[in-house]
Amino acid sequence: MTDHRYTASELEDMGFPLSSLTPEQLEVLRDLTAEEAALLLDIKARMDHVAPEVQAHTEIAGAALF
């Protein structure tokens, strides 16, 4: 989809867990634009600041309304 394609090693360096990705997921991530990758990394980074007890209780979740 874009001229640039991320290598597996670049994605790994960004923090994507390659071992748990399906080939289809890997293909999509390799195809991200720089803007899409930056947005996704910003969202993923949010997990670094969350207390373990909250991560353990995500069954009480969902809050978006449209």
Give residues in contact with another protein (CB under 8 A): 1, 16, 24-25, 28-29, 31-33, 35-36, 39-40, 42-44, 46-47, 50, 54-55, 57-66
Are the C-beta atoms of residues 4 and 34 closer than 8 Å to each other? yes
CA angle 45, 49, 52 (to 5 degrees): 120
Give least dist CB 9 to another protein, A: 18
Rounded Cα distance between 56 and 59, Å, is 8
Give least dist CB 32 to another protein, A: 8
Amino acid type, 66: F
**Smaller CB separation from another protein, 5 or 44:** 44
